Amino acid sequence: MLKDTFKLSFVNSNNIWKLLLYRILCLLGVLGLTTVIAWPIINVLIKDNFFVNLQNSFESMIFTLNFEKLFLTVDNVVKDFINIISANGLLVQSILCGIFVIILISFLENYAKMSLHQNVYGYMSSLTKYGFTNSYISYFGKATLVGLASLITILPINLIIWVGAYLLASSLYAKIGVFAIILTFLLLILVVPLKNTFFAGWLPAIIVNNEPVFKSLKIGFVAAIRKFFKAYSSFLIYTVGIFMLNILALALTAGVGLLVTLPLTTLMSIILGEVMYFEALGMRYYVDSEHIVSPKRLEERDSFAKVKDII
| 298 — pLDDT class (breaks 50, 70, 90) | low
285-288 and 291-293 as β-strands: parallel, antiparallel, unpaired? antiparallel
The pLDDT value recorded for residue 52 is 86
Own/partner contacts of 250-259, CB < 8 Å, gap of 24 or more, are: 250/61, 250/62, 251/61, 251/62, 251/63, 251/64, 251/65, 252/63, 254/62, 254/63, 255/58, 255/62, 259/20
Instruction: State the average pLDDT over residues 195-219.
Output: 92
pTM for the whole thing? 0.88
CB 196 within 8 A of CB 235: yes
Instruction: State the average pLDDT over residues 106-132.
Output: 92
Cβ-based neighbour number of residue 273 at 10 Å: 28
User: Between residues 303 and 1, which one has the greater pLDDT?
Assistant: 1
Least confident interval from 8-12, 22-26, 235-239, 293-297: 293-297
Q: Report in angstroms the alpha-carbon separations of 41 from 37, 85, 90, 103.
A: 9, 7, 7, 19
pLDDT in tens, 65-93: 677 788 888 888 888 999 999 888 888 88
